[in-house]
């Protein structure tokens, strides 16, 4: 199992990302990487340490120098994991936040916690459109009573 967070953190640095790009085309030593990136050998070594710890690169000793290459299987695994997560993500268009009532002043919403409908948001086919547009039948079906409809602010309820 890959550690998604450590890999993404390792790739988040511009120089480390550039190192990965260089190593995707050639195996290079610290000196060559430093020359291509215009940074010190010490800085490249520190970046390589982070990339090695994340499992993104590996070194192979060749004579006096260590040449680095990308662990392509780790790159493929992280890509597959991210793709899998996007397919598992819920469709946020069907979430009914009670806080979204046309154009509420955003400053009024800060620090407030809002609930969500329990039934109608998880079963969007029961809704007419926006949660505030529920028919009395839908409200009764979802919540049992119009008075307690969680999508409608208290001041609008009958």
Given this model, what pLDDT does residue 113 score? 46
Distance separating alpha carbons of residues 33 and 52, to the nearest angstrom: 15
Among the candidates 82, 108, 132, a domain finishes at 82
- CATH number reported for the structural domain that contains residue 47 in this entry: 1.10.10.10
Given this model, what pLDDT does residue 69 score? 96
Q: Based on the domain organization, do 60 and 108 belong to the same domain?
A: no
| Tens digit of each residue's pLDDT (9 = 90 or more) over 69-128 | 999 999 999 999 989 888 875 555 544 444 444 444 555 545 444 444 544 454 555 555
For residue 121, being part of any structural domain is answered with yes
Given this model, what pLDDT does residue 144 score? 58
133 pLDDT above the threshold of 70:
no
Phi first, then psi: give them for residue 116, nearest 5 degrees. Answer: -125, 155
Q: Based on the domain organization, do 76 and 131 belong to the same domain?
A: no
For residue 89, being part of any structural domain is answered with no
For residue 51, being part of any structural domain is answered with yes
Q: Based on the domain organization, do 12 and 74 belong to the same domain?
A: yes
141 pLDDT above the threshold of 80:
no
Q: Based on the domain organization, do 56 and 104 belong to the same domain?
A: no
Question: Computed from CA positions of residues 131, 132, 133, 138, in that sequence, does the dihedral angle turn out positive or negative?
Answer: positive
Q: Based on the domain organization, do 41 and 108 belong to the same domain?
A: no
11 pLDDT above the threshold of 60:
yes
- Give yes or no for a contact between 48 and 19, defined as CB atoms under 8 angstroms apart: yes
The boundaries of the domain holding residue 59 are 4-82
Distance separating alpha carbons of residues 158 and 155, to the nearest angstrom: 8
- Give yes or no for a contact between 117 and 151, defined as CB atoms under 8 angstroms apart: yes
For residue 55, being part of any structural domain is answered with yes
| Tens digit of each residue's pLDDT (9 = 90 or more) over 17-63 | 999 999 999 999 999 999 999 999 999 999 999 999 999 999 999 99
For residue 150, being part of any structural domain is answered with yes
Q: Based on the domain organization, do 76 and 104 belong to the same domain?
A: no
150 pLDDT above the threshold of 80:
no
For residue 107, being part of any structural domain is answered with yes
Number of domains in the chain: 2
The widest CA-to-CA distance across the chain, in whole angstroms, is 83
The conformational region for residue 111 under phi > 0 = left, psi -120 to 50 = alpha, else beta, is left
Given this model, what pLDDT does residue 128 score? 53
């Amino acid at each position: 199992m890959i550690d998604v967070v450590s890999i993404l953190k390792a790739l988040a640095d511009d120089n480390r990302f550039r190192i990965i790009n260089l190593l995707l085309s050639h195996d290079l030593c610290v000196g060559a990487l430093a020359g291509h990136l215009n940074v010190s050998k010490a800085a490249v070594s520190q970046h390589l340490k982070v990339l090695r710890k994340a499992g993104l690169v590996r070194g192979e000793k060749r004579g006096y120098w260590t040449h680095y290459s990308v662990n392509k299987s780790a790159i493929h695994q992280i890509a597959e994991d991210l793709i899998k997560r996007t397919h598992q993500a819920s469709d946020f268009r069907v979430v009914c936040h009670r806080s979204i009532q046309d154009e509420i002043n955003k400053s009024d919403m800060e620090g407030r916690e809002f609930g969500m409908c329990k039934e109608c948001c998880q079963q969007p086919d029961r809704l007419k459109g926006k949660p505030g547009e529920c028919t009395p039948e839908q409200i009764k079906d979802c919540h049992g009573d119009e008075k307690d409809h969680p999508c409608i602010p208290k001041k609008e309820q009958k």
